[in-house]
Amino acid sequence: MKIAVLSRNPNLYSTRRLVEAGRERGHEVHVIDTLRAYMNIASHKPSIHYKGAELEPFDAVIPRIGASITFYGTAVLRQFEMMGVFPLNESVAISRSRDKLRSLQLLSRKGVGLPVTGFAHSPDDIPDLISMVGGAPLVIKLLEGTQGIGVVMCETEKAAESVLEAFMGLKANIMVQEYIREAGGADIRCLVVGDKVIAAMKRQARPGEFRSNLHHGGSASLIKITPEERMTAVRAAKVMGLNVAGVDILRSNHGPVVMEVNSSPGLQGIESTTGKDVAGLIISYIEKNARPNQTRTKGKG
């Protein structure tokens, strides 16, 4: 098969591994720099140009679109879809998963377990917002944050009020969430491919920290997940319409709750922690499922 990896940097671990795994299995794999692809969207025959020439047809495309280029990246992916190329994850599903509010609303509507969560922009009654989500302790998140930046834990309602006031002053979108203390500073990353969790790891925050992000000194280890956690992760990916997803789960005393569904999960941490050939399993998913003109939305979404 001829496979394109849409990625800004061929040297990133995940990109390298996908290219390597594809070539090992006898496929022709090319890395296409997302921002350098250009297209004539008004043409009757959709095509993509790259480095001065029209791209030859591909059988499948693996999108690795960074959060900062979601808008242009999903447009390039949509063009591949209009050309009938099989996308590992569809453009609409990626856009959906990048919108945290939309994602949580969708997951909630489909009955996937979530922490009690409120959204706000400029609430005129902060105490009411706080009591709506069950009072302190609370986690307050800036929607635009990544890697745990802009995630604050407030032990008391007074602290929560001050933080909310400060964030409101920044005119930011805010998420207010029940603090899952019983998770003990750990979360579980489940790597879903198709309808299976093919690898899972636990990320544990360092002592004195509640955020388990590796950037904040968290450490990763192997974990055996329960059938309920497995089902929750697979359902979450399915609700989002993602074939491949990194689903982050917290163990709460009301069952597994989903924090986030990531459409371009990093492969380095999960492969080194579990010793699994995640890239190889992704390629084999493509081998089994890639058919031309099978995009459900055909680039319409």
Q: Which residues bind ligand ADP (CB under 6 A)?
A: 115, 139, 141, 145-148, 151, 177-180, 183, 187, 205, 210-213, 248, 250, 259-260
Residue number, 116 or 281, with CB nearest to ligand ADP: 116
Shortest spacing between CB 115 and ligand ADP, in angstroms? 4
Residue number, 185 or 280, with CB nearest to ligand ADP: 185
Residue number, 141 or 235, with CB nearest to ligand ADP: 141
CA distance 99 to 249: 18
Q: Which residues pair with 139 in a beta bridge?
A: 153, 177
What would you report as the CA-atom Rg of the chain, rounded to the nearest whole angstrom? 20
Q: CA 206 → CA 209, 211, 213, 219, distances in Å?
A: 6, 8, 9, 7
Q: Residue 88: how many CA atoms within 13 Å on its side-chain side?
A: 25
- The angle formed by the CA atoms of residues 77, 78 and 83, to the nearest 5 degrees, is 100
> Residue 138 in contact with residue 130, Cβ under 8 Å?
yes
Annotated binding residue 178: yes
54: its two tokens: 């029209």
Shortest spacing between CB 189 and ligand ADP, in angstroms? 9
147: its two tokens: 């890697």
State the amino acid at position 191 in one-letter form.
Answer: L
Residue number, 70 or 295, with CB nearest to ligand ADP: 70
Evaluate the omega torsion of the peptide bond into residue 137 and state whether it is cis, within 30 degrees of 0: yes
User: Left (φ > 0), alpha (ψ -120 to 50) or beta: where does 26 sit?
Assistant: left
Q: How many residues in total does the chain contain?
A: 301
Annotated binding residue 228: no
Shortest spacing between CB 137 and ligand ADP, in angstroms? 9
CA distance 6 to 255: 36
Annotated binding residue 238: no
Name the residue with tokens 């994850």. Answer: 89
Annotated binding residue 100: no
Annotated binding residue 72: no
Residue number, 21 or 130, with CB nearest to ligand ADP: 130
Residue number, 17 or 251, with CB nearest to ligand ADP: 251
194: its two tokens: 């198709």
Annotated binding residue 50: no
Shortest spacing between CB 89 and ligand ADP, in angstroms? 18
Annotated binding residue 144: no
Annotated binding residue 102: no
Shortest spacing between CB 213 and ligand ADP, in angstroms? 5
Shortest spacing between CB 102 and ligand ADP, in angstroms? 15
Binding-site members are: 141, 178-179, 187, 211-213, 248, 260, 262
Binding site listing for ATP: 141, 178-179, 187, 211-213
Residues at the binding site for Mn(2+) are 248, 260, 262
Positions at the binding site for Mg(2+): 248, 260, 262
